[in-house]
Structure 1
Amino acid sequence: MEEKEVKSQQSTQRLFVLYEHASGYALFRVKGFDEINKDPRAALEASVFGSVVRLQAFSPFLSSVNAIDNTNCVSEGVVHDDLKVFLESNLPLEKKSKVALGVVDGKLGAAIIEGMGINCITAGSVPEIARLIKRHFQFFVKGLTTKSEMKATLGLSHSFSRCKVKFNVNRADNMIIQSVNLLDQLDKDINMFSMRIREWYSYHFPELVKIINDNRLYIKLVNLIKDRSNCAQLQAEITELLGDEALTDQITVAAKTSMGMEISPVDLLNIEAFSQKATMLVDYRAVLYEYLCKKMSMIAPNLCSLVGEIVGARLISHAGSLINLAKYPASTIQILGAEKALFRALKTKTATPKYGLIFHSTFIGRAEMKDKGKMSRYLANKCAIAARIDCFSEKPNMVIGTKLRVMVEDRLSYYKTGVVPKTNEEFMEEALQELKEFEDLEKEAKRKKKEKKRLKKEKEALLKEEAEQMVA
């Protein structure tokens, strides 16, 4: 039905087609395309296609900067000044009602209608005409060779891609996504390496496995002790590492009465080399965790304050970006990470999962089994609010996130004790009041900093003036 209306509209109006090429804007006049559309030679022979489609005007881009500027506007659905001048100069706008402009991009067509009042068509035969124009473009523009066209297209595509990467709104989120993925991979690697070290070093000192349960501490101890006979001389260093004298004494006694076999220097050297590499991974994991915490506090402070850095970062990573997470409803955030279980439950018609990644939050772990589903639903709701505040606030801070955390704590207490918490309205009033106080403090701090700079400049100017007077 829509295509019939478009065809009838095209038959009563003069049809022009706007084509955006890498080298510039082109405007084509179309006459009797329905007849030639039935001829299969039009797709192959430029002369047959050119008998009904004629080049009305061509405006090349002045430079590569001008080309990328116009391309960015076209991709965003904005009418550039160059395009506006081009259309006003070459379209018979004195009879707008009898002119139809074919545009491939719907957003650009809507912008032309709104900004210039020109009737635009994006359906019907327009996409097919644009496809054939692209195929036979060199036939219409004299002097444009295949080599120059490829060069212009390649240069513009590279510039456009660089521009999109440079102005990617999710670029800060990307750092969080990569960091948390690397952190999870490091945890797996460290656990695997520690298991290997435990098994290898246990031939020499098997009692240490039962004394030290933490994998990271075990790796560092192996790297420090080396031969078990060194434990007596390294008591101070072991105590400093463990922070517990009782454990140090236990290790020293176990080393003296160990059932382990004696180990050759060559074997010990290999164990030591491997433990050093694993220790480096443990140390880097700590540095990466600090980096992730700083990034999360800058980009998503409210989400970080509510569920912690790791869970918040995993939610952002699974969603793809903070803006994607902010667009998700609370029901999606609740089961984010449990998609396989959800579709399996829908397929087998069993109970659907109650939580996904947010299960790792402390709130779900502290809730009783019968309340875990309700708690996860409530927490997902607050995560959605926190993500939206972080994503769309000009200067995000953790005031709202801290208040949301208090709300979740009160709800958890309500499930355990039955004490009715405050309403959401009361909490939000308090949060807005705290936010206002926080903003006032920030303004006062900025004012004081500005005043301090002004006084410093005045003092420097006064000292400079005194020095000049003394010289004179």
Structure 2
Amino acid sequence: NIHCVLNNTVMEFLQGVRRLFTELIYGLGDHDLSPMSLGSSHSPKLSVLLDDLDKKLKTHALMLKKQYKTHFSQLAKIIEDNLLYAKSVKLMGNRRNAKFVDFFKILEDEIEAQLKEAAVISRGKEVSDQHILELCDQVVSLTEDRTKLHDDLKSRMNTVAPNLTALVGELVGARLISRGGGLLNLAEQPGSKIQILGTNGYTFRSLKYHAPLVGQAAPKLKGKFLRSLTSKIALAVRCDALGDGKDNTVRLKSLAKLEERLREIERNDLGRLSRSAKGKSEKDKSMGHGGLITHAKTCNSEAEDTSMELRIHLYGRRRCGAIIE
């Protein structure tokens, strides 16, 4: 005989409970609620969560390498990947155990041979195994969480904005949508406004260093190529926001035109360099500054000076001999 009630009063009460949840339950912090917030309706942006996970992962990986470096300093140069480094340290523990451990499941044969060879000659102080293993578990756990979150973001972006994702990737596309205030609001922005979103007034900073297509261009040509890219981004966002999302002809045509535009920019740059070099060489020849002409003049002047000194020396010797006689 329990009657369920759902009205504005109940919704306000539930909002207050969620807002004061960490104060109502003793020992519960905000960091404990971050995994729960991934599936809730008021969860933060996935791109923001990815950035937070990246920061935590880098911090824990740096702590692990810094503390284990005092015990086995050569390992950081042999294994640069954070996940493989943590798994290797967890599997090996003390460096003296390296020759008894098989790393074939996580490392290649060459890297495994280098690791075992370096473990024999390495000299370092002893460290706490328990603390090192805890750091390894945290790095592995954070890496797995980031992989799952990235897969979720990729799936959502391919569903919501497939054309935008094909041009700039899922992470940059999610950041553009977040900065623009949603997909519909971003569709209202022109290409000139999209290229400065999230850059604090610095043109091209966001797309210049994170968009995959821009990495194909030379450093001095990135600005020209980005102007073409942002115009295609504006077109792709409008198709994603106002279309049904099933037609992929827009992204295919945009990718083909962008590749053609990149080749055109590179050809124009090479033509400009060749014309400038040719014009400079012709100008030097017309002004008489060629290398051979200058060198020949220098050699002739030196020969004339040498012959003049020799004639003066011989003439002086003849005069001296005549005076003595």
TM-score normalised by the chain length of structure 2: 0.67
**TM-aligned CA distance change 1:311 to 1:176, over 3 Å:** farther
Aligned-partner residue type, residue 123 of structure 2: M
Q: 2:172 and 2:44 mapped to 1: Cα distance?
A: 12
Deviation at 1:155, TM superposition (A): 5.1
Which residue does the alignment assign to 1:216?
83
Q: 2:165 and 2:242 mapped to 1: Cα distance?
A: 16
Q: 2:267 and 2:92 mapped to 1: Cα distance?
A: 50
**TM-aligned CA distance change 1:406 to 1:304, over 3 Å:** same
Aligned-partner residue type, residue 112 of structure 2: T
**TM-aligned CA distance change 1:336 to 1:176, over 3 Å:** farther
Aligned-partner residue type, residue 115 of structure 2: I
Q: What are the residue-to-residue correspondences of 1:137-156 with 2, within 5 Å?
A: none
Q: 2:147 and 2:10 mapped to 1: Cα distance?
A: 43
Q: What are the residue-to-residue correspondences of 1:264-279 with 2, within 5 Å?
A: 267-279=128-140
Q: What are the residue-to-residue correspondences of 1:173-212 with 2, within 5 Å?
A: 178-212=45-79
**TM-aligned CA distance change 1:274 to 1:156, over 3 Å:** closer
Aligned-partner residue type, residue 204 of structure 1: H
**TM-aligned CA distance change 1:256 to 1:328, over 3 Å:** same
Which residue does the alignment assign to 1:229?
96
**TM-aligned CA distance change 1:157 to 1:196, over 3 Å:** closer
Deviation at 1:402, TM superposition (A): 2.6
TM-score normalised by the chain length of structure 1: 0.47
Runs of 5+ in structure 1 lacking a partner? 1-63, 66-151, 162-171, 343-352, 420-472
CA contact (8 A) 1:306 1:383 kept: yes
Q: What are the residue-to-residue correspondences of 1:114-125 with 2, within 5 Å?
A: none
Q: 2:109 aligns with which of 236, 242, 245?
A: 245
Which residue does the alignment assign to 1:358?
207
Deviates more, 1:304-313 or 1:356-365: 356-365
Which residue does the alignment assign to 2:302?
none
Q: 2:275 aligned with 1:410, yes or no?
A: no
Q: 1:394 and 1:294 mapped to 2: Cα distance?
A: 17
Count residues with an aligned counterpart. 239
Which residue does the alignment assign to 2:283?
none
**TM-aligned CA distance change 1:241 to 1:216, over 3 Å:** same
Percentage identity across paired residues of the two chains: 34
Larger RCO (alpha carbons 8 Å, 6+ apart): 2
Tell me the C-alpha RMSD between the 2 structures: 2.8
Deviation at 1:334, TM superposition (A): 0.7
| 1:123-148 Cα shifts (integer Å, max 9, x gaps) | xxxxxxxxxxxxxxxxxxxxxxxxxx
Q: 2:222 aligned with 1:372, yes or no?
A: yes
Deviates more, 1:187-196 or 1:210-219: 210-219
**TM-aligned CA distance change 1:308 to 1:175, over 3 Å:** farther
Q: What are the residue-to-residue correspondences of 1:312-323 with 2, within 5 Å?
A: 312-323=173-184
Q: 2:124 aligns with which of 260, 263, 283?
A: 260
Q: 2:43 and 2:172 mapped to 1: Cα distance?
A: 12
Deviation at 1:418, TM superposition (A): 4.3
Runs of 5+ in structure 2 lacking a partner? 16-38, 270-325
Deviation at 1:203, TM superposition (A): 1.4
Deviation at 1:292, TM superposition (A): 0.9
CA contact (8 A) 1:177 1:314 kept: no
Deviation at 1:178, TM superposition (A): 1.6
Aligned-partner residue type, residue 191 of structure 1: K
Deviation at 1:291, TM superposition (A): 1.0
| 1:14-48 Cα shifts (integer Å, max 9, x gaps) | xxxxxxxxxxxxxxxxxxxxxxxxxxxxxxxxxxx
Q: 2:159 and 2:62 mapped to 1: Cα distance?
A: 36
Which residue does the alignment assign to 2:284?
none
Q: 1:416 and 1:206 mapped to 2: Cα distance?
A: 45
Q: 2:42 and 2:189 mapped to 1: Cα distance?
A: 21
Secondary structure at 2:125's aligned position in 1? Answer: coil
Deviation at 1:261, TM superposition (A): 1.9
Secondary structure at 1:379's aligned position in 2? Answer: helix
Deviation at 1:224, TM superposition (A): 2.2
**TM-aligned CA distance change 1:155 to 1:272, over 3 Å:** closer
Q: What are the residue-to-residue correspondences of 1:365-444 with 2, within 5 Å?
A: 365-418=215-268
